[in-house]
Amino acid sequence: MAAPQFRPQRDYTQTAPVQPRVQPKQPQKQAPKPSHRPRRRKWTKGEKILTVMMIIVVVATSLVSLNLQSSISQTTIKNVEVDREIKTLQKENEVLENKIAKKSTYEHFLQKAKELGLTPNSDNVKAVTKE
């Protein structure tokens, strides 16, 4: 068995606080700050030309698209107007067909003949047959 270890008793009386050793601060070396802004990279002639050409292409594409949308809109408006005109003409044609059908009846021919002073004569009627 191991021998018991004895610890010295602590003295709990108040003593003056011991100040930790403070080492004097040495000035930290900081990276030198640039006194001027870093220079911007200049564009080359080729980069300028490509940028201008891209801007021109984007603007031209936008204009062509706008023009195309405008022409589509105008064509749609014309189609609607033509459809309306077709519907009115179809209604007018139906009315005229009804008038033609009414005036093509036997009773209408007989009435008109009487108005003009014609009389039916069965001797003058000839039957037409197919041979």
Cα→Cα distances 12→17, 18, 20, 39, 102, Å: 13, 15, 20, 68, 134
pLDDT in tens, 66-121: 999 999 999 999 999 999 999 999 999 999 999 999 998 888 888 888 899 888 77
pLDDT in tens, 116-131: 988 877 777 777 787 7
How far is residue 109's CA from residue 100's CA, in Å, rounded to a whole number?
Answer: 12
How far is residue 55's CA from residue 47's CA, in Å, rounded to a whole number?
Answer: 12
Cα angle at 13 between 9 and 17, to 5 degrees?
A: 115
